[in-house]
Chain A
Amino acid sequence: MPDAGSGSPGAPSSESGRHGGRPVRWSDAWLLALRSLRRRGGRTLLAGLGVTLGTTMLVALLSISATADSRIVSQLSKGGPAAAIHVDDAYPDPGNLASDELKTGPHHDLNDAAVAALRSSPNVASVVTVLSTPVLVIPCPGVTPGPRAAAACRQETDGYVTTAVGSDLRRASDLPITLLAGRLPAAASLTEVAVTQSYLERVHLDARRPAAVLGSEVELAAPQALPGAQTRFRGRWSRAEVVGVVAQTVDQGEFLVPIEQSQAARQWSLAGVATRGLPRQTSPYSGLVVVADSLADVHAVRSRIADLGYATSAPEHLVASVQKYLHIVDIVLGGIGAVALAIALLGVANSLLAAVRERWREIGVLKALGASDGDVARWFLFEAGLLGLAGGVVGTVAGTALAGSVALAVNRYLVDQGLQGIDIGLLPAAWVLGVPLASALLAVCGGLAPALRAAGLPVREALGG
């Protein structure tokens, strides 16, 4: 038998030697914890399932709550950003700022200088220009009504005058627009328009089936008043395809068009004379949509716009009030999920306590071999952490899937009702990482009492002496 210095298996090498206070390697502790969990497969499965269900419930409730919150706020802000402010080409009424509603004074031209001033203002994230112009509309030009015609053209519809709302569609995400079917017109397009549900009714279509209008054509005529004793108009005609159906509150009007179409129509009208029915549109823009950095900045931005001499409207008071209630709902739903998770963690603690009782003798043996109290505690805490982590990962996936399923069902219902669907967004990365880690951490907390109990066992007692 070789002696200590010659590398006998029982002899200390320079590497292994006597290690004083060095604890068991983490990798070994994890491995031991994993083996212990595997050995108690049934109980591990049940405890892990508890954590999974708790996490699933928490994630699903928070996801549904967050989606509902954004949906409600989106509804209040008509589909646009919650911090959007409507600016009108008019001076503000003295009581304008105290109200969410638009309270206007006399007309005040909105020009590029005002737009530039707003864009350089603090707390302003975006400024989108709007120009509404009157148009004469002929639905389904050149189409003979009948059963063979497209759905929007089966019945005859007389021409009528309405308003085309022109917006900078490059910034459509900042506009209070809800897309119900199809898509928005391409930015700067002169041959594409989107219509509102009012147009569907006008062409005898079911507003709950907005897609039926897509692909049909309209002729739009920008009016120009001719000089003379008798008021006469001529039109600048253009033909466009209906590519989308929207609910919009950018301005009142049945058509949403790229602002380039409205600007061309305005130039055409300005070349004519002013009449009672068609006043000269001196303002380059009929309105603006200003988006503040956050809801908290809305009032300050409205004040600055008022200082520039323009009236505004924004649902700031309504949104703030509703958000308070939504916050309470969030807390309640989060609380329910947290209770579910807490119950699951009690399951983890219970499972580990049972494991301590079962492994009483093993704990004694480990201590007899030289395991410190810390080694034993770490063993049980790692088991708890593994249970929490595994349950947290599976629960996050399952919770997301559950929330997605609920959202799909709700979405289908909303779309069937002709309403805007809800976004089934991906779970934020912070949640994907944070929830399993938090679950593991909470499980470790749940395992603290069993771990301390195991660590504190007197060796002889644990060995059954």
Chain B
Amino acid sequence: MAAPLSRVETVAERGFGAEIRVRGLLHAYGEAGRLPVLRGVDLDVEPGGYLAISGVSGAGKSTLLALLGGLESVQSGLVMVGGRNLASLNGRDLAHFRRDVIGFVFQDFGLLGMLTALENVEMALSLAGVSRAERRRRAAELLAEVGLAGRASHRPTALSGGELQRVAIARALANRPQLVLADEPTGNLDEDSALRVLELLERLRAERGCTLVVVTHNQELAERAGRRVRLTRGTLQ
């Protein structure tokens, strides 16, 4: 039987990242699973680890990331994150899991255009039911931490790509996740911005002790990770 979320919370409060354990993961799309994407993936990441997943388009990188983050239901195999068996979680529990355990960083930043940078970070805290004054304070501190204190009141349209991604990182860290999943976080950035964003992610991981999994095409960036795996046709190399 899966451990209750409160157990995971205790781990998080001790400052450890989430351990990842994947066994025999199969995933397919289309009718009757005619389009297999993952064909028996086994993966282990230690708490606080830094993993880079690379591979060509269609190799299954984003699908693996989605499965680790509870964005998709596990079809077959075992996915354990922070002591939770994701296959055993229903939709509501998966939402709580994403809110409390995972921090997502997307290639296209995924910021809400109607909100300012500060409000985008606040949104994550709002979903956790944090009071307005408290989340405003914490969001401002997070933006300062990613070097955007002066851009808090700007809307996404007024920010550069690098700034957008830093706001997205601040938002991903708002609820102190045990696991940060970054899907091509530098894909829309120039080389200089890409490097700075990745350095920021790495620094924050080191400071907070969370586990970091980055999906990237960029072999040079992938080599910065403590551990690298390559997905080829749904299997890990």
B124 interface residue (CB < 8 Å to A): yes
**CB-based contact A370/B128 at 8 Å:** yes
Contact of B95 among A18, A36, A373 (CB under 8 A): A373
**CB-based contact A372/B92 at 8 Å:** yes
Interface positions of A from 22 to 64, Cβ below 8 Å from B: 22-25, 27-28, 32, 35-36, 38-39
**CB-based contact B72/A460 at 8 Å:** yes
* Cα–Cα, bound, A361→B125 (Å): 20
At the interface with chain B, which of A2-10, A309-317, A445-453? Answer: A2-10
- Most chain A CB atoms below 10 A, which of B71, B111, B113: B71
Q: A9-B141, A465-B63 are in contact. Are A369 and B13 (CB under 8 A)?
A: no
**CB-based contact B130/A369 at 8 Å:** no
**CB-based contact B71/A463 at 8 Å:** yes
**CB-based contact A367/B113 at 8 Å:** no
B115 interface residue (CB < 8 Å to A): yes
A427 interface residue (CB < 8 Å to B): no
**CB-based contact A365/B110 at 8 Å:** yes
**CB-based contact A12/B176 at 8 Å:** yes
Contact of A369 among B114, B171, B207, B208 (CB under 8 A): B171
Q: A4-B13, A20-B96 are in contact. Are A28 and B145 (CB under 8 A)?
A: no
* Cα–Cα, bound, A17→B5 (Å): 12
B29 to chain A, nearest CB (A): 10
Q: A9-B138, A465-B66 are in contact. Are A18 and B130 (CB under 8 A)?
A: no
Hey, which chain B residues are within 8 Å of A465, CB to CB? 62-63, 66, 71-72
Report the nearest B residue to A365, measured CB to CB: B110
* Cα–Cα, bound, A134→B48 (Å): 110
**CB-based contact B128/A19 at 8 Å:** yes
Q: A1-B208, A368-B71, A368-B104 are in contact. Are A13 and B134 (CB under 8 A)?
A: yes
B149 to chain A, nearest CB (A): 12
A184 to chain B, nearest CB (A): 61
B159 interface residue (CB < 8 Å to A): no
Hey, which chain B residues are within 8 Å of A22, CB to CB? 128-129
Report the nearest B residue to A372, measured CB to CB: B95
Interface positions of B from 157 to 194, Cβ below 8 Å from A: 171, 173-176
Hey, which chain B residues are within 8 Å of A23, CB to CB? 129
Q: Give the secondary structure class of A's interface.
A: loop
**CB-based contact A11/B112 at 8 Å:** no
A458 to chain B, nearest CB (A): 8
Number of interface residues of B (CB under 8 A): 53
Hey, which chain B residues are within 8 Å of A361, CB to CB? 110
B72 to chain A, nearest CB (A): 5
B148 interface residue (CB < 8 Å to A): no
Q: Give the secondary structure class of B's interface.
A: helix
* Cα–Cα, bound, A12→B96 (Å): 15
A371 interface residue (CB < 8 Å to B): yes
**CB-based contact A18/B100 at 8 Å:** yes
Hey, which chain B residues are within 8 Å of A35, CB to CB? 114-115
* Cα–Cα, bound, A367→B71 (Å): 8
B98 interface residue (CB < 8 Å to A): yes
**Binary contact track B97-134/A, C-beta < 8 Å → 1, others 0:** 01110001010001111110000000111111111101
**CB-based contact B96/A15 at 8 Å:** no
A453 to chain B, nearest CB (A): 16
**CB-based contact A369/B99 at 8 Å:** yes
Hey, which chain B residues are within 8 Å of A89, CB to CB? none
- Most chain B CB atoms below 10 A, which of A8, A25, A361, A370: A370
A201 interface residue (CB < 8 Å to B): no
A23 to chain B, nearest CB (A): 8
**Binary contact track A349-377/B, C-beta < 8 Å → 1, others 0:** 00000000000011011111111110100
**CB-based contact A16/B129 at 8 Å:** yes
**CB-based contact B124/A39 at 8 Å:** no
Give chain A's interface residues, CB within 8 Å of chain B: 1, 3-5, 8-13, 15-25, 27-28, 32, 35-36, 38-39, 361-362, 364-373, 375, 458-460, 463, 465
- Can you list 23 residue pairs at the A/B interface with Cβ under 8 Å? A1-B207, A1-B208, A5-B13, A9-B142, A10-B176, A10-B208, A13-B134, A16-B128, A16-B129, A19-B128, A20-B96, A21-B96, A22-B128, A23-B129, A25-B129, A27-B132, A32-B123, A36-B114, A368-B71, A369-B127, A372-B95, A463-B110, A465-B72
A-B pairs, top 8 by smallest CB distance, nearest first, are A370-B99, A9-B141, A1-B207, A365-B110, A16-B130, A9-B138, A22-B129, A39-B114
